[in-house]
A and B are shown apart, each in its own frame.
Chain A
Amino acid sequence: MKEIGPRIDEKKFRQIGRRELLKLTPVLALGAFAIPSWQEGLLKKGLGFSDWAAARFFRPGHSAPTFDDADVAPFEKFPINGYDVEDPGVDLGNWTLTVSGEVKKPGEYKLSQVQALPLVRQNTRHVCVEGWDVIGRFGGARLSDFLKLVGADTTARFITLNCADDYYESLDMATALHPQTLLCYEMYDQPLTREHGAPLRLNIPTKVGYKQAKYLTDLKVTHVLDRVGYWEDQGYSWFYGL
């Protein structure tokens, strides 16, 4: 049985109760999110903070899990995803990658030049922002090798990319230099099919699916992010490292 302590009058008790209740007013600060004109700005800041924290978690030396051939989904089960058309009608015969920006050797690069770089094949998990995932088999040149080839300034912060279907994306340099980030021209040991981004796409196992742009046409090395990304401009996360 608890010791019965001191005694106060009811008015005092109510005063104490009110004061204790008032101490909780900071909770009302959350109400800021309910104000329509403030909502967008607050959420944008929140997402920006999340992106900043996400970049802190990135470890350049840490690899995404790779899988045995037995774990790889059959080619027909690897979804085709895009934002516009599945086949933007790339002229494969005359295709080049236009390289510009902070590079010593800008200009047009043929697919054969990319294919001349060491080939890396990897079985990795592709994660879509929608929530599904699929393990696929990808092959290509390390983006870091290609950046060396074009004499890129790797102290620059960003790579921006344009695509044949008018999709566009950008990468942080740390991810661009990651050994698993590929300029991918093969899937399942075959050249990319049109729907999967022929002739060249990004394969980045440390990033969410929508950052792995297909049908690449332009690559720029830059200190400044002038164009961020198609889905980012709709309100999605920019960094989205897995």
Chain B
Amino acid sequence: MRGEVIEIVREMPAATVPRAPKDTTDTKENVAGMDEAKVKATDEVATEAESTVEVDAAGDDLSRSASERTAMPDGAISGEDKGDEQVDQEPSDVARAAYEHPFIVRLCHWINLVALFVMVGSGLQIFRAFPSFGAKIPQKDLLHWPKAFAIGGWLGGALQWHLTFMWIYMATGVLYLGYQILSGNYRQVLFTHRDVHGVWPMVRHYFFFGPRPQAREAYNPLQKQAYTSAIGLGVLSVATGFAVWKPVQFSWLAWMMGGFHYARIWHFAVMWAILFFVLGHLIMVILHGWNNFVSMLTGWKKDPEY
């Protein structure tokens, strides 16, 4: 269902002429997974039972004969190729929507938004207990992080939040990765060598007033790079976290990072990298408008750029 594109029309005025059954058009069938029939917005349709217009129904629409299912030809806008019945319909009343984000992706996104917020907040409170990466004697603090921007109130409280939410954070990450891999959905967002050449044009467009490259897919190369990196950073935050939490039982992991003392530095650095990503992400979300934002809530993006 991901990648499915539909058209949305406003409700047809009552004067619409009911159509005679059409021949199925000659063009390609819908993309795989869309074998159910979608009904045009006619009066007839409006009185049909709900089940006949389920977007994600598994089976065929039994109340509609096969001849009434149509596949739109490539690039056709409404009104064309329809013959006389559609002459009243205005093309401007039709919008398109693409199903971009499957349920599990959205679920994990919003859960880990909360979990990450708690991890960062409580992590900073933990940091406040020894805001240094040097020796205890003499202690030289790196930076003073205000208590007001931390979660937990004190070291003990912060550890409770951190050691509780880390399980939520990890479980959600595993669910997300598992789903992406097993469903194949990772393909739309994973940064590969094929995307490398597309990064600079996007950077030039966003930051240096370059022309807007044509959108061909749900995620542009720069986005793919950002989101792939973000997942990598998430994994690193867990790995460095384990090295800090259990430097003896995970001594091999800690050793790879230079030992407990350095693992703590990496853990802190990875947090800042993630925060940098979050900042960029929020700016991009704001810049790309309401429909784009809503797609992470409902899965559907109205008026996709591609």
Contacts and interface: CB of A to CB of B under 8 A. Distances in A.
B195 interface: no
B7 A5 contact: yes
B130 A9 contact: no
Contact of A57 (B11, B30, B246): B246
A3 B33 CA distance: 13
Given A3-B28, A30-B111, A64 B251 contact: yes
B260 interface: yes
A172 to B, nearest CB: 14
B172 to A, nearest CB: 10
Interface string A20-57: 11011011001001000000001111110110011001
Nearest to A235: B156
Interface string B16-51: 000000000000101100101111110001100000
Contact of A9 (B10, B103, B115, B129): B10
Contact of B246 (A54, A128, A133): A54
A128 B129 CA distance: 10
Contacts, number: 204
B156 A234 contact: yes
B247 A127 contact: yes
Contacts of B75: 1, 4
A59 B130 CA distance: 29
A225 interface: no
A50 B163 contact: yes
Contact of B163 (A205, A231, A237): A237
Given A23-B103, A132-B130, A1 B249 contact: no
Contacts of A128: 130, 136
A59 B249 contact: yes
A93 interface: no
B224 interface: no
Given A129-B159, A235-B156, A3 B249 contact: no
B230 interface: no
A33 B28 CA distance: 51
Interface string A206-242: 1000000000000000000000000100111100011
Contact of B249 (A5, A58, A130): A58
Contact of B126 (A47, A73, A131, A242): A131
Given A13-B300, A24-B106, A79-B137, A62 B165 contact: no
Interface of A: 1-13, 16-18, 20-21, 23-24, 26-27, 30, 33, 42-47, 49-50, 53-54, 57-59, 62-65, 73, 76-79, 125, 127-134, 205-206, 231, 234-237, 241-242
12 contacts: A4-B5, A5-B30, A5-B71, A5-B72, A6-B34, A9-B45, A13-B97, A24-B297, A27-B111, A30-B114, A47-B159, A64-B248
Given A7-B40, A134-B135, 17 more contacts: A2-B5, A8-B9, A9-B9, A9-B10, A9-B11, A9-B12, A12-B53, A13-B6, A13-B97, A26-B107, A50-B167, A53-B167, A128-B136, A131-B126, A132-B132, A134-B136, A205-B248
Closest 7 CB pairs of A and B: A6-B38, A46-B164, A131-B130, A9-B41, A17-B298, A7-B7, A242-B248
